[in-house]
Structure 1
Amino acid sequence: MNITDKITELKEQKNALILAHYYQRPEVQEIADYVGDSYYLSKVAKDSPNKMIIFCGVKFMAESAKILSPNKTVLLPASDAGCPMADMASSEPLAALKKQHPDAAVVCYINSTAEVKAECDVCVTSSNALSIIRKLPNKKIIFLPDKNLGEFIAKQIPEKEFILWNGFCITHKKVTPDSIKELKAIKKDALVLTHPECESAVRDLSDFIGSTGEIISYAKKSKASDFIIVTEQGVLHQLKKENPDKNFYVPGNTMTCINMKKTCLEDIYECLKYESNSIELDEELRLKALTSLENMHKYVG
């Protein structure tokens, strides 16, 4: 019996649900019950009848699932899969910043720790951040941890004042305007689809800027055949799967998140077998963090 069959057998025995982020290895995406972005997967975990969730992603994602589903067992196969950007923000300096700007709404990107979410008024994703912040009554916004996503939103809402945390995604930061220009010189008709976590000089070269899910949707609907994908290259698996007649390219060789690639099939098998790497949260902290996620629903709805 190969590793895939072993995982499938264990999953059925334990009535477990396997979730994988778009940035995971192709073989991990293939064995998952659902593939998507972090918040979508957390909602799937919450709404599913399964009591055990295997979350193939990074820690903040599994934490979000646990915040929304406290009575479920949420397991993270690669226990050391973290998010450097999420770790760039912490609750104590945020609390100090809030005191300096008591009239500001505190908005956190979902790529943040449970401790940070607990200090925030509302949590957002890259796809709903613009819509939610526009609806907030506050004229001043503290946005963290990603300054690039914050800049992207701030430019579209000039009537509001943004105080941006100095955080960033180390993977998206690596891509340079020159690497896109070099690829564009070869593939002249290719459309550049970019994640807003990229820096402004990169975003300025883009034909479309959007979340991972929005990039996939745009490529699927577009009549173009060539695309330069400026986000973590794990998304190429879904893009190629849904668009076999289209061509996808990444700039340079920089678009790989080492943390997203830590999860292997062996990790999933071990995690299922031993029910290891369980995500546990203090209940007071979980409830505070839950408020920011519930407020996201309020404004999206």
Structure 2
Amino acid sequence: MGSTEVLARTAPIYERVKRVIPPFEWPVFADDVDAILRLKRERNAVILAHNYQTPEIFHGVADIVGDSLALARMAMNVDADVIVLAGVHFMAETAKLLNPSKTVLIPDREAGCSLADSITPADVRLLRQRYPGVPIITYVNTSAAVKAESDICCTSGNARAVVESLGVPRVIMIPDEYLARNIAAETDVEIISWAGHCEVHELFTAAEVRQLRADHPGVVVLAHPECPPDVLAEADFAGSTAAMSDYVGTRKPPRVVLLTECSMSDNVAVQHPELDFIRPCNLCPHMKRITLGNIRDALEQNRHEVQVDPKLADRARRAVERMLEVR
């Protein structure tokens, strides 16, 4: 539990998150927060945190926060010796691809992703054989080995732009089937999909959206494009986590629900205390493997350094860099 001195030092950070973390919980976090801030200074380290991290990480110790696209872009300009990726393993690999000379740490090696697990490099090679000449667009939620077999990467935030940037009538988009189907509805390009799904977003249903509207009259429903198409059809807006956050900040709907991972609502609510956030809670078990405690351990012990096989790193890096060139 935090000492009086530690609680005093971390009081300005608690002030940011007091709406979503009860006062009796903060002393449990304060020691780790205080130690992590010290370790970052000592090691010239930065922490990159995805929008699905819990508030004590996202608002407490992170230096750079955002969705996969934002983290990928900002990772290239990090002025630090050490990067700690508070997210899942494919994100840490991407940070390493873009910063090959830096030390990249992930606090828990088991922080994986159902989408990344849904496809292998061999699967991508078979797709090339089946559809010769058709470009392969790979969602960033994949291993570096899968990225190395693709032509270009995308995120939920720039998927349509990537598809249309290629100037071809037909593309393959892997591995998220729902993202591919939802983007296909927005473009004239034919999209061949793969049957991978996010275990968080596939749980949302159209019936659940209708029930939310019945229970909370006037609620504005924002949905992530990894949700099934019938869910997006019931929503008021569909977009990446960054786009949802921007929507809330710009439109300021008095009552809003974000159909995505639980912690996203907590993190956005910190910035908009005047709004009412309805929270249907689907947790990502992989994101929740990252804690203040294992972030501290990673920095103290240089634990879980991420490496990418040099045989595939250049090809995987090129697929990511091509994505970042699309505006």
| TM-score, normalisation: structure 2 | 0.88
Shift of 1:161: 2.1
Match of 1:298 in 2: 325
Give the Cα separation in 1 of the matches to 2:158 and 2:72.
Answer: 15
Matched, 1:204 2:233: yes
How many angstroms does 1:200 deviate by? 1.1
Find the aligned partners of 1:97 and 1:148 in 2 and give their Cα distance.
Answer: 18
Deviations, residues 171-221 of structure 1 (Å, cap 9, x unaligned): 001112222211211211111100000001111101000000000000111
**How far does residue 223 in structure 1 lie from its aligned partner after superposition?**
4.2
Map of 1:66 onto structure 2: 96
Q: What SS does structure 2 have at the residue aligned with 1:107?
A: strand
Q: Which of residues 102, 108, 112 is equivalent to 2:138?
A: 108
- Tell me if structure 1 keeps the 8 A contact 2:105–2:305: yes
Alignment of 1:91-106 (within 5 A): 91-106=121-136
CA-to-aligned-CA distance 1:204-260 (integer Å, 9 cap, x gap):
101000000000000111142011110111111221122110011133x4x110111
Give the SS at the match of 1:44.
helix
Query: What percent identity do the matched residue pairs reach?
Result: 35
The runs of at least 4 aligned residues of structure 1 exceeding 6 Å deviation read none
- The residue correspondences of 1:233-272 to structure 2 (distance < 5 A) are 233-251=262-280, 253=281, 255-272=282-299
**Alpha-carbon shift at residue 70 of structure 1 (Å):** 0.4
Following TM superposition, by how much is the alpha carbon of 1:138 offset from its aligned partner in structure 2, in angstroms? 2.1
Alpha-carbon contact 1:91-1:115 (below 8 Å) kept? yes
Equivalence for 2:160? 130
- Deviation track 1:29-80 (CA, whole Å, cap 9, x = no partner) reads 1211121112322332220110100100000000000011100000000111
Match of 1:273 among 274, 292, 300: 300
- Kindly provide the amino acid, as one letter, of the partner of residue 277 in structure 1: H
* Alpha-carbon separation, structure 1, partners of 2:296 and 2:326: 39
How many residues end up aligned between the 2 structures?
Answer: 297
Measured against aligned partners, the alpha-carbon deviations of 1:93-115 in whole angstroms (never above 9, x if no partner) come to 11011111112110011111101
Supply the RMSD in Å over aligned alpha carbons: 1.2
Q: Is structure 2 residue 192 aligned with structure 1 residue 163?
A: yes
- SS of residue in 1 equivalent to 2:200: helix
Q: Supply the AA of the counterpart residue of 2:233.
A: D
| SS in structure 2 at match of 1:31 | coil
State the Cα distance separating 1:297 from its structure 2 match: 2.6
Distance 2:71 2:195 in 1: 27
Structure 2: gaps of 5 or more residues: 1-5, 7-30
Q: Which residue of 1 aligns with 2:309?
A: 282
1:280 counterpart SS class: coil
Shift of 1:296: 1.2
2:261 to 232, 236, 243: 232
Conserved in 1, the CA contact under 8 Å of 2:135 and 2:151?
yes
CA contact (8 A) 1:39 1:61 kept: no
What is the CA deviation profile of residues 87-137 of structure 1, one whole-angstrom value per residue up to 9, with x for unaligned ones? Answer: 101110110111111121100111111011001111011111101211212
Q: How far apart are the structure 2 equivalents of 1:111 and 1:150?
A: 13
Could you tell me how far apart the structure 2 residues matched to 1:217 and 1:279 are? 31
The SS at the match of 2:326 is helix
Residue 42 of structure 2 is aligned to residue 5 of structure 1: no
Q: Conserved in 2, the CA contact under 8 Å of 1:103 and 1:138? A: no
User: Which 5+ residue runs of structure 1 have no aligned equivalent?
Assistant: none
